[in-house]
Amino acid sequence: MIEFKSVKKIYTGGIMNTCALDDVSFSIDEKEFVSFVGHSGAGKSTILKMIYAEEKPSSGEVLFNGEDITHIKPKGMPLHRRRIGTVFQDYKLLQKKTVFENVAFALEVSGYPNSEIRKSVPQILEIVGLSNKAENYPHEISGGEKQRVAIARALVHRPALIIADEPTGNLDPISAWGIIQLLMKINKLGTTVVLATHDKEVVNNIKRRVITLDQGRIIRDHSKGRYAI
């Protein structure tokens, strides 16, 4: 589904050029659950951003379903994004919208009809366990719940892939584990999940494929990996 071919990323500027990714190659199959681990600055986020085409490699290729997305045209961008759901550490929810509206927002901007929105959003809220919070605003719910809203929003247009960049970074261990379990449940339902984290507990409990990064290089890629740096 995703394939990186000797991808390099060099950030120019400052006194020295920073090499964020150095000759990174890997591939991820459909329905996999892959965790990227490593210290801050190891290149986890850069890899994730390249998958949803927010960053372009300095050299090398990124393929998505066999299609080169490093040269994606601005017009093709929205369609590419609609195949992917994204979840972030800071939730990125709209404070002035309710939980329901936040989730519906993802459908609205893609031009789904209202009837579809009224049907899909409650279903997704049911899956993430927030049916009773639909009319609450983000500031009225807990961090774990906010992240569930973000996951619901990422899922609602039924993407083939969920990208989660440090989704548990702001959460206590119990909420964090809840979020990871939710991602695993989503994965079980058939969605590929790519997770970036530096949470040792989380990684060791998932017991799925782990790719370890250090200073922009892949140093380990184990199918039932553990957090070991």
Residues forming contacts to another protein in the complex (CB under 8 A) are 52-53, 72, 74-75, 77-82, 86, 92, 94, 105-106, 109-111, 153-154, 157
Q: Which one, 167 or 225, has the nearer CB to another protein?
A: 167
* Residue 76 beta carbon to another protein: minimum distance, rounded to whole angstroms: 9
Give all strands (DSSP E) within the chain, no chain letters. Answer: 2-11, 18-28, 33-37, 59-64, 67-68, 84-88, 161-165, 192-197, 209-214, 217-222
Q: Taking the complex as a whole, how short is the minimal distance between the CB of residue 34 and another protein, in angstroms? A: 20
Residue 16 CB coordination number (10 Å)? 8
Nearest to 193 by CA among 222, 228, 159: 159
Give me the least distance between CB of 81 and another protein, in Å please: 3
Cβ proximity to another protein: between 162 and 210 the closer is: 162
What DSSP designation does 176 have?
A: H
Query: Cβ(8)–Cβ(22) under 8 Å?
Result: yes
Q: Closer to another protein by CB, 70 or 131: give it.
A: 70
Least distance (Å) from another protein to the CB of residue 217?
Answer: 27
78/173 with CB nearer another protein: 78
CB-CB contact of 146 with 139 (8 Å)? no
